[in-house]
Amino acid sequence: MGLLDGKKLLITGVLTEGSIAFHTARIAQEQGADVVLTSFGRQFRLTQAIARRLPAEAPVVQLDVTSEEDLAALADRVREHTDHLDGVVHSIGFAPQSVLGGNFLSGQWEDVATAVHVSGYSLKALAVAAQPLLGRGSSVVGLTFDAQYAWPVYDWMGVAKAALEATSRYLARDLGPEGIRVNLVSAGPIRTTAATSIPGFEKIEERWPERSPLGWDMRDAGPTAKAVVALLSDWFPATTAEIIHVDGGFHAMGL
């Protein structure tokens, strides 16, 4: 018997086999879940190709989280594959290069707004769009990078992640009466497409393995994906508004 037997999940952010979202979808299927993926634009065919590399090929529906039209249509598009959802995974983040890599002071509002919209506000937008399909006991899980700190080169993406973390708490407050849990997983640095596109990202990752009590493998998204799957399961029935760290213990260490 799998941890997610019979669960129906919507997973965003599957772009490559190295992505946290891909490993989440893979492990979720291995644990008995049926998975629907989202993608949009030029990435859509890429997501379809990657979906064929899962244990069971997953359908892909159109969703640009900045499009009101796509958000309004999401529930109907998902209904073409399942009549309800037990869980939603938010694995979405983007910031223009102009507000990363040491450009905090020079960042312009238009680009900052894009980062906050795509990386923070979209959690609320996605949850509300999926809400008609979610029932009691369902779970929304997002991915963050610990926003307590001002990281080198992360700049306005760090601010956007702080917005994401606050958004998750307010969502937990407002969706809790419907029996919907909202939690985040704070992962250590993983060499995903999004991470490696940040100029100077190696400044964040270079000391992570030695400062983490358990060590840290930046090539392995599996531990993070397992935490997401656990939060999607029924084994955390009274946990919401929480941030689970999957970083080898780095977050708790001093100098």
List residues with catalytic annotation.
Answer: 154, 161
| Residue 247 labelled as part of a binding site | no
Q: Are 87 and 186 in contact (CB under 8 A)?
A: no
The annotation status of 234 as a binding-site residue, yes or no, is no
77 is in an annotated binding site: no
64 is in an annotated binding site: yes
112 annotated among ligand-binding-site residues: no
114 labelled binding-site residue = no
244 and 227 in contact (C-beta within 8 Å)? yes
For the chain, what is the radius of gyration of the CA atoms?
17
Q: For residue 17, how many other CB atoms are within 10 A of its CB?
A: 12
What is the number of H-type helices and E-type strands within the chain?
10, 7
Please report, as a single letter, which amino acid is at residue 24: T
CB atoms within 10 A of CB 59: 16
Give the 3-state secondary structure of residue 197.
coil
Per the annotation, does 159 bind a ligand?
no
- The reply to whether 161 sits in an annotated binding site is yes
In degrees and rounded to multiples of 5, residue 243 shows phi and psi of -120, 115
Judged on CB neighbours under 10 Å (0-12, 13-18, 19+), 255 is exposed
20 is in an annotated binding site: yes
Per the annotation, binding residues are 13, 19-20, 64-65, 92, 95, 161, 190-194
Per the annotation, binding residues for NAD(+) are 13, 19-20, 64-65, 92, 161, 190-194
Per the annotation, binding residues for substrate are 95
